[in-house]
Amino acid sequence: MTRIFSGVKPTGHLTLGNYLGAVRQWVAADQEPDEALFCVVNLHALTVEHDPARVRRLSRQAATLLLAAGLDPQRCTLFVQSHVDEHTRLSYLLECTATDGELRRMIQYREKAAKSLGAGEGVRLSLLTYPVLMAADILAYGTQEVPVGEDQRQHVELTRDLAVRFNQRYGHTFTVPKATHPAVAARVMDLQDPGSKMGKSHESGAGIVYLLDEPGVVRKKVMRAVTDGGDGVVHDRAARPGVANLLDILAACTGTAPEVLAEGYSGYGALKRDVADAVVELLRPVRERHTELAGDPGAVEAVLREGAERARGLARPVVDRAYEAIGMLAP
Ligand code: TRP
């Protein structure tokens, strides 16, 4: 049995990048209720300026979409982070394990902090400590594997360092986890800006396919994707990032290697049409199921309540043990 944990942050609408980079892999991984845990990590949505109503709405939508994408609550544990106190409880102990320097070195922190400062905004302290809370998310469950996008690699590395350090200082307490990445399309790039990830927080939506986009909108976005100068269709991520991204997306949809797919095209037009068709078909069942589920919010809430209860039962003993190991009196 392999314990798996992953999280999705409700800071924007879920995208094709989230789906191909992470969620689809989760669906394939869900097996037994206490093997795979998937969490809407809503506390992580508070590290930058946020609108409470929007976070609430996006959290519910993310949970609904995960179910629509095929996560089966009978076979995995789906829950909301803020419903399980163990995450913040453990986070403090890990703050006492991590150093200021190692958190300031995190690439995502440096990028986001620079952006906030550039915009004349303050940087929330939680933006700096956020990887520690993420480590707590993971370590509270004795997680072995963390299926995430490539951009989260550094945070999982930090989690490993903290687990090892804690164990060395206070005795074996945490399982040391590792990140896993899907072979294809771990990184779907923005259709308008193939140098950057198709993230939910990108400013303009033109290069981002959202899971709930109407088919017509998906087609328009794919047909307007930027391609590169140069002749013919080849798969070359460095020299032809736009075309490579389209081929990677098609590869992820069809299961055929991108280099092989490239041989079948002489021009961008046909490639884009096929990518658009493949993405529309990929997302169709997810959208349909989402509409159904959104019509029954009580059912989704019940799933989340049950998930939180199960998660609490798993995390509680691990975190209690950590409190004792670090020197807190047993209550
Ligand atoms: N940091 C992740 C992201 O931005 C979300 C996340 C939070 C997460 N806690 C996690 C992912 C634990 C995996 C495991 O996408």
- Give a three-class secondary structure readout of 185-221: CCCCECCCCCCCECCCCCCCCCCCCECCCCHHHHHHH
- The reported pLDDT for the residue numbered 28 is 78
Q: How far is CA 296 from CA 55, 74, 253, 283, 287, in A?
A: 20, 18, 30, 21, 15
DSSP annotation of 15 reads B
Catalytic residue, candidates 112, 220, 221, 272: 112
Nearest CA to ligand 1 atom 13: 6
pLDDT in tens, 24-81: 878 876 566 668 999 999 999 999 999 999 999 999 999 999 999 999 999 999 999 9
pLDDT tens-place string over residues 227-245: 987 778 999 999 999 999 9
Predicted confidence band of residue 7 (pLDDT cuts 50, 70, 90): very high
pLDDT score, position 142: 97
Distance between CA 190 and CA 178 in Å, rounded? Answer: 27
The percent of residues above 90 in pLDDT, for the chain, comes to 79
Task: From the candidates 9, 200, 221, 272, give the one annotated as an active-site residue.
Answer: 200
Predicted confidence at residue 166, as pLDDT, reads 98
In this prediction, residue 201 carries a pLDDT of: 59
Q: pLDDT-based confidence at 124, cuts 50/70/90?
A: very high
Mean pLDDT, rounded, for 147-153: 84
Q: What is the pLDDT of residue 148?
A: 83
pLDDT of residue 98: 98
Q: What is the pLDDT of residue 99?
A: 98
User: Cα torsion for 75, 76, 80, 84, to the nearest 10°?
Assistant: 110
Ligand 1 binding pocket, CB closer than 6 Å: 5-7, 9, 41, 44, 134, 137-138, 146, 148, 152, 155
Asked if the model's pLDDT at residue 311 lies above 90, the reply is yes
CATH fold label, 215-291 = Tyrosyl-Transfer RNA Synthetase (1.10.240)
* Position 151 confidence tier, pLDDT thresholds 50, 70, 90: confident
Please give the average per-residue pLDDT across 163-173, as a whole number: 98
Å from CA of 134 to ligand 1 middle: 6
Going from N- to C-terminal start, the domains of the chain cover: 3-181+297-326, 215-291
d(CA 317, CA 140): 9
197 is catalytic: yes
Note the pLDDT of residue 247: 95
Average pLDDT, the chain: 93
Q: What per-residue confidence (pLDDT) applies to 31?
A: 64
Fold of 3-181+297-326: Rossmann fold (3.40.50)
Question: How big is the CA angle at 131 (ends 73 and 174), to the nearest 5 degrees?
Answer: 70
3-state secondary structure of 179: strand
> With bands split at pLDDT 50, 70 and 90, how would you rate the model's confidence at 202?
low
pLDDT at 182: 65
Asked if pLDDT for residue 283 goes beyond 70, the answer is yes
> Is the pLDDT at 197 greater than 90, yes or no?
no
pLDDT band at 203 (very low <50, low <70, confident <90, very high): low
Tally Cβ neighbours within 10 Å of residue 13: 17
Query: Catalytic: 200?
Result: yes
**Residue 25 has what pLDDT?**
79
The pLDDT score that the predictor gives to residue 183 is 63
pLDDT of the residue at 22:
81
Cβ-based neighbour number of residue 47 at 10 Å: 21
Catalytic choice (197, 220, 221, 272): 197
